[in-house]
A and B are shown apart, each in its own frame.
Chain A
Amino acid sequence: MDGLSHETARSPRPLLVVDGVSKHFGALAAVDNLSFEVMPGEVLGIGGPNGAGKTTLFDVITGLDRASSGRVLFAGHDITRAGPERICHAGIARTFQLNAGFDTLSVRENIEVAAIYGHVAPVFPGFRIRPVIRRRVDAALELSGLAGRAATPAGELAVLERKLLMVATAIVTQPRLLMLDEPVGGLTQAEMDAFVAMLARIRGEGMAIILIEHVMRFLVSLADRVLIMHHGERIYEGRPDDLANDRRVVDVYLGDGAADLIRAALDPGVVP
């Protein structure tokens, strides 16, 4: 598995291709003829005003919603019509804006169930949890900093812990692409820093990441490339440092004040 991901990291073929994808809800085009690519190991940041279609785009890519038109390719395979289970096994794991969790399961069980079923579909899962799965679960508990909460029911977790748990259940499926929907929304500055540290470790393993975030400082400091959506369309795609200079992005999304803050955050020398 490791050897494979290093191989793909060197090859120039895109990991994810979104090709002319649209999603209509009645007359509303939530995603409108959108195309972009993600390379192996790359971090793509997606921003845009409320209702721009970011979450809908995630739903379409991960098979929870069906594209009205267009194609999605992952590692060269067409996954446009695949269900969410198959897409997970193909190597895409996502988190949810609404902090999803298996609330009656303990933190450990949440991660266990993802580890057992998320990497490959077991023909029959058996009656015991295999040691290799247990080790993977322990590693994910460690990485997410939730080891001390292993026995707590997920329904009793605070917001930050729920977000960390969603990431832990995602990475334990050993994805090649991790998709995070507003991972730090509603967190304090210190909590956000903890999250950034964890994502840095995940990145180190060569995983590609797409992250949706309204917190621009977080987005531009992590992303290699930024895509800004508005009314389901792309209004900007490019380097994070040019973002604040783009007139259209500043007008429809950032506002002048935020643009100045981003420029400050991107002070040369801080970000490569």
Chain B
Amino acid sequence: MTAPGKDLVIGVVLVAIAATVPFLFPVRYVITQMTLLFIYAIVVTQWNLVLGVAGIFSLAQMALFACGAYATAMLGLYLDWSLWAAMPAGAMIAVVVGLLIGLACLRLKGPYVALLTLAIAQVAYLVIITDTDCFIRTETRCEPFTGGASGLRRFGDLGLREWLGRDWIIGNYFVGLGLLVAAMAFSVAVARGPLGLAFRALRDNLGYARSRGISQFKYQLVVFALSAFFTGLAGAFYAAHFKSVGPTIFSFSLLLLLLAMIVVGGLGTIWGPIVGATLVMFADEGLREVQDFRTLGLGLTLALFVLLLPDGLTGTASRLLARWRGSGS
């Protein structure tokens, strides 16, 4: 079977399984966690384009996610936009910010990209939590423009309660699943097509790639912008689904969680991020009882994979499969 054919079959099977979950396990907690899994999976499929396919060590992804989330919340809160309009607008704002971050990283190499992008995210975090000036004053209290340390609330929702009543949460579940399918299809099309070739060529050998006409300037900006769109949209949906957004989305442990998803699944592979997101999310659920060990467990998992299985589970599996086939024939 051809590679696109295989991708399609895997995709359809996964979607079919996901679509039955809310009916097989009609538990609010399960549905909420699965929706959160979809959101994280969107982020890691796009992050994988930058980190794995293009090989650029950007840690800006959660800042772009926050852009989408905060922009959506603010457009809803201050301009009374419908969140259905605010979400794509938030994604576009994330694209613009992604372009600017890509521009800032253009002349930097390896670890310096990680440092700069982490610093940008930290600055955004600090600006938000130290924001205490009154922007909206109500009778009881004053709210800062960014929501400050306590975040933004009451900016509306997707409005599915009016149609679906108590099942609105299942409606949101399917919106999340739909966004994930779109994000995944997008990342596969990019990674398997001419753009993916350019990103990988620049990653493998910069000077050689430039000598074959591939502009580092253009395609580094392109990968930042492309990956920012669905990342911002995931943030926007996060805000719309949970009806609140706060500075916790900048937390280091969340960044670590998402990074672990990519590394466990397989950096730069097509299906690795989804596999990793699912496994890490379930493992994280298992560790919920022992709160203190969650971050520790995450850090250890990450370290073990980097040291022992740098290709992740899917990367290692496909390598073993190829070797097995090779020796069989």
Interface residues of A (CB under 8 A from B): 62, 64, 83-85, 87-89, 93-94, 96, 100-105, 109-110, 112-114, 116-119, 121-122, 125-129, 169-170, 173
Contacts and interface: CB of A to CB of B under 8 A. Distances in A.
23 contacts: A62-B211, A85-B214, A88-B210, A88-B211, A88-B213, A89-B213, A101-B204, A101-B205, A102-B204, A105-B204, A113-B214, A114-B212, A116-B194, A118-B212, A118-B213, A125-B193, A125-B194, A126-B193, A126-B194, A127-B189, A127-B190, A127-B194, A128-B194
Interface of B: 189-190, 193-195, 197-198, 200-201, 203-205, 207-216, 218
Given A113-B198, A125-B195, A127-B194, A101 B208 contact: yes
Given A85-B215, A127-B189, A113 B210 contact: no
A113 B197 contact: yes
A96 B200 contact: no
Contacts of B204: 101-105
Contacts of A110: 201
A117 B193 contact: no
A117 to B, nearest CB: 4
Nearest to A111: B212
A84 to B, nearest CB: 4
Contacts of B189: 127
Contacts of B197: 105, 109, 112-113, 116
B207 A100 contact: yes
A175 to B, nearest CB: 10
Given A102-B201, A126-B194, A127-B193, A96 B213 contact: no
Given A64-B207, A105-B204, A127-B189, A93 B198 contact: no
A18 B31 CA distance: 69
A170 B200 CA distance: 18
A129 B216 CA distance: 20
B193 A93 contact: no
B212 A113 contact: yes
A173 B214 CA distance: 11
A128 B193 contact: yes
Contact of B212 (A104, A122, A173): A173
Top 8 nearest A-B pairs by Cβ distance? A125-B194, A118-B213, A100-B208, A88-B213, A84-B210, A113-B197, A102-B204, A127-B193
Contacts of A126: 193-194
Nearest to A104: B204
Given A104-B200, A116-B197, A129-B194, A88 B212 contact: yes
A117 B208 contact: no
B193 A84 contact: no
Contacts of B207: 64, 84, 96, 100
A125 B218 CA distance: 12
B212 A93 contact: yes
Contacts of B193: 125-129
Nearest to A155: B204
A126 to B, nearest CB: 6
A169 B204 CA distance: 15
The winner among A62, A64, A103, A117 for most chain B CB atoms within 10 A is A117
Contacts of B213: 85, 88-89, 114, 117-119, 121, 173
Contacts of A62: 211
The winner among A85, A87, A89, A101 for most chain B CB atoms within 10 A is A85
A272 to B, nearest CB: 33
Given A113-B212, A121-B215, A125-B195, 15 more contacts: A83-B215, A84-B210, A85-B214, A87-B211, A88-B210, A88-B213, A100-B205, A101-B205, A110-B201, A116-B194, A116-B197, A118-B213, A118-B214, A126-B193, A127-B190
A80 B76 CA distance: 53
Contacts of A87: 211
A105 B212 contact: no
B98 to A, nearest CB: 17
Contacts of B211: 62, 64, 84, 87-88, 93-94
Nearest to A110: B201
Nearest to B203: A104
Contacts of A100: 205, 207-208
